[in-house]
Amino acid sequence: MTKSPALYRVILLVWAALFGLALLTTAGSLSREITQRPVAGVLALVTLLFIGYFWLNGIKDVLYTAWYYLVMRGRIRPVRRRKLHRHPPRVVMVYCTRNDFNANSLAASMKQRYTNVHTVILDDSDKPEYLTMIDIFAATHDVQVVRRENHVGFKAGNLNNYLTGADYDYFVILDSDEIIPPRFIRRMLDYFASDQSIGIVQATHVATRNVTRFQQKFSLGVDSHWPVYQSVKNRYGFLSLLGHGAMVSKQAFDAAGGFPLMVAEDLCFSLAVREHGYTTVFAPDVTCQEEFPVDYLAFRKRHSKWTQGNMEFIRKNTRPIMTSRQLHWYEKLDIVLFTYALPLTAVFSVFVVINVVVLPMMHASFQFPLWMLIPTVAFLVAPMVNDVVFHWARMAHTKLLSYSGGSMMLYGSMYFTSLRSSLKSMFGNSVFLVTPKDSTAISFREALRSTRSELIFAGVLAVISLVFTRSVFPVFLLVLPAMVAPYLMVRHQPTRAELHERQRGKVLQAA
The beta strands (E) that lie in 230-357 are given as 246-249, 279-290
Beta carbons of 204 and 125 less than 8 angstroms apart: no
422/427 Cα distance (integer angstroms): 9
The pLDDT of residue 435 is: 80
244/269 Cα distance (integer angstroms): 13
Ordered by where they begin, the domains of the chain are: 89-293 (3.90.550.10)
The pLDDT of residue 507 is: 42
332/102 Cα distance (integer angstroms): 37
3-state SS assignment for residue 118? strand
The pLDDT of residue 501 is: 57
Residue from 179, 204, 200 nearest 111 by CA: 179
Beta carbons of 285 and 77 less than 8 angstroms apart: no
Classify residue 230 as exposed, middle or buried by CB count within 10 Å of its CB (0-12, 13-18, 19+): buried
Residue from 25, 63, 13, 57 nearest 371 by CA: 25
Residue from 207, 160, 163, 205 nearest 184 by CA: 205
Amino acid identity of residue 17, one-letter, is: A
The pLDDT of residue 499 is: 56
- Altogether, the residues listed in the chain come to a count of 511
- 246-249 and 198-207 strand pairing: antiparallel
Please report the DSSP string for 49-75 in residue order. Answer: HHHHHHHHHHHHHHHHHHHIIIIITTT
| pLDDT, tens only, 176-189 | 999 999 999 999 99
- 91-97 and 117-123 strand pairing: parallel
Strand partners for 282: 202
pLDDT < 70: residue spans in the chain? 1, 343, 346, 494-511
Q: How many CB atoms lie within 10 A of CB 143?
A: 18
Rounded to a whole number of angstroms, the distance between the first and last alpha carbons of the chain is 46
414/447 Cα distance (integer angstroms): 15
| pLDDT, tens only, 312-364 | 888 888 999 999 999 999 999 999 999 887 767 767 787 888 888 888 888 77
Residue from 509, 504, 511, 508 nearest 211 by CA: 504
The pLDDT of residue 437 is: 77
Residue from 60, 78, 74 nearest 386 by CA: 60
396/402 Cα distance (integer angstroms): 10
